[in-house]
Structure 1
Amino acid sequence: MSNIQEQIKKNMYFSMEQVSILNPRMVMEQTPRVLRYESDLLTIPLGNQVISYQGALSADGVNDIHKLIDRYQSKKLPFSWLIWSHDVGAEDLKPVLEARGMQKVDELAGMSLSLNNWKYNAPSISGFEIKPIRTKAEMDWFRQVVPTSFGFNEEDGKAFADITESAAFSENTVFQHYIGFMDGQPATGVTALTDGENIGIYNFATLEAYRRRGLGSATIAHALREAQAAGKKHAFLQVSKIGESIYKAIGFSDEVTIEVYCGE
């Protein structure tokens, strides 16, 4: 088991844990076997998730999995379950989930980047400017870009933006949002999460009209440079396998495969 693989996973859990501190309707659970959370904040699978379940599957383990699924189904909200390729029991877990009607909907790459001596020469883009979000009023930029790019409905989009705003402006926050502007208009966004000597890259999104111009890559690279200047050592992210080549061009390496299962 790679230490980097576990750091990627723990960074993901840490991101949700920080959000939960400000949201009593979000409950986290961490045991030697499971990392998960549940809430009624969102009506999409992201709102309720088993981030990791690992270990050889005994009869008790299978029963434990059924209880977790029953718990999520009782909420009558969609939920998701991540399977990490490096986890013990990963292959045995899949048929158990499938037998309960859960379906594989995506495959992510867990990626890492060493910021030690990292360099990336982003191409100059005329009319493009990147700004950090410093005030709650500036969160309107985030609201214009990220929920829309993710395809959220109006209710979930507002809830998601409210959650990320409260996290960004809490005391001792570990979140920093960046927005890229094209000709003065919000076009792309990304969130950097500080986790000790590491950072996680989340909420990377670009509006449809501005895609395939390198704006997203430039915005992520900007966040990475800021982290590097602050002395951070590694950056982590999770991205759909379809788009991983974009992040490899920045310098990220593929470390682990994360299969996404959904149920309701």
Structure 2
Amino acid sequence: MNQSEQKQIMMNNLNAKIKARSAILKEAKIHETEDGFTYIDADLPSYNFNVVTLPETNRPLNPNTFKEIMAYYNSRKYPINVWCWSQQTDIITLFKEAELKDYGTDYLGMIAELRSFRPIVPDPDADCHFEKASSPEQLVTFGNILSSLYAGSNEEKQIQAYFEKAAQSCLLEDSRFQHVIGYYQGKPVSIGSIFFSDSVAGLYDIATLESERGKGLGTKLTSYLLNSAKGKGAAYCTLQASPGAENIYRKLGFDTIDRLKVFVNFE
């Protein structure tokens, strides 16, 4: 598989996940334009859930449509985010013309071929185990750990609000998702999710409570997620990693595709 194909399957999974996550909220609106844009109104003032996705790479980009989408969000006074590859300079120019701002943190698109993946068997650890969220209470716990990455901000409140609503929806019954919680000494301290589309498993929401970092829990969690994805028959696994975590994921079998940039409509 060449780099262009790798990029496309990653973005396809990311876009499908964004739509599926929003669809479980009754108040959310998923808008799809004739020229290939999708934009989500999650009915929450959160840039994690109000997301714009671009047309596939083989489709022309209509600047006027994008400007209309931005006008929609501005009228709602909603924060949003939109992703692109760092080499898509024409798209970055369009974002800047629409007065979007570079989020300031780039990510690495990474991929692992699971057909050749050999499960890593971690050292026995009676203090650590992982569970797939199977109850509304566990889904709320998942959201609380994820929201801790945004402690003290409005985003923390909105992520908690989303998962409180999701806990009362059909999200737990959606076989495309797995929401996994890592427990250390009986306490929920880490999370990660998988979204399955076609033969691809996308890893998302990998986080550990700040007080519990440095114990190797993130590596063990990611290995658990990879084993689960392979067990479900996925051929490839993708994720978006911070540059500082690249070596960790490489050791687990991931290769870097390219750098991703995030743009937002707020300071």
| TM-score strictly above 0.5 | yes
Q: Which residue of 1 aligns with 2:159?
A: 157
- Inter-CA distance 245–167: structure 2 relative to 1 (3 Å threshold): farther
Q: Residues 134-145 of structure 1: matches in 2 within 5 Å? A: 134-145=134-145
- Inter-CA distance 167–252: structure 2 relative to 1 (3 Å threshold): farther
Instruction: Say yes or no: does 1:113 pair with 2:115.
Output: no
- Inter-CA distance 11–187: structure 2 relative to 1 (3 Å threshold): same
Letter in 2 for 1:168: L
Q: Quick check: 2:19–2:40 contact (8 Å CA) kept in 1?
A: no
Q: TM-score, normalised by structure 2?
A: 0.85
Q: Quick check: 2:203–2:239 contact (8 Å CA) kept in 1?
A: yes
- Aligned residue among 5, 14, 17 for 2:16: 14
Q: Residues 140-219 of structure 1: matches in 2 within 5 Å? A: 140-151=140-151, 153=154, 155-165=157-167, 166-170=169-173, 172-219=174-221
Structure 2: gaps spanning 5 or more residues = none
More strand by share: 1
Q: Which residue of 2 aligns with 1:131?
A: 131
Letter in 2 for 1:5: K
For 2:255 and 2:203, how far apart are their aligned partners in 1?
14
- Aligned residue among 41, 51, 59 for 2:53: 51
Q: Which residue of 1 aligns with 2:100?
A: 102
Q: Quick check: 1:81–1:260 contact (8 Å CA) kept in 2?
A: yes
For 1:241 and 1:36, how far apart are their aligned partners in 2?
28
Larger deviation, residues 173-182 vs 48-57: 48-57
Q: Quick check: 1:104–1:259 contact (8 Å CA) kept in 2?
A: yes
Q: Quick check: 1:113–1:234 contact (8 Å CA) kept in 2?
A: yes
Identical positions, percent: 21
Q: Which residue of 2 aligns with 1:76?
A: 77
What number of residue pairs does the alignment pair up?
Answer: 257
Q: Give secondary structure in 1 for the equivalent of 2:262.
A: strand
Larger deviation, residues 200-209 vs 91-100: 91-100
Larger deviation, residues 67-76 vs 5-14: 67-76
For 2:71 and 2:228, how far apart are their aligned partners in 1?
43
Structure 1: gaps spanning 5 or more residues = none
- Inter-CA distance 48–139: structure 2 relative to 1 (3 Å threshold): closer
For 2:157 and 2:19, how far apart are their aligned partners in 1?
23
Give CA-to-partner distance per residue, 1:91-128, whole Å, 9 cap, x none.
12223322332111121212111111312243444511
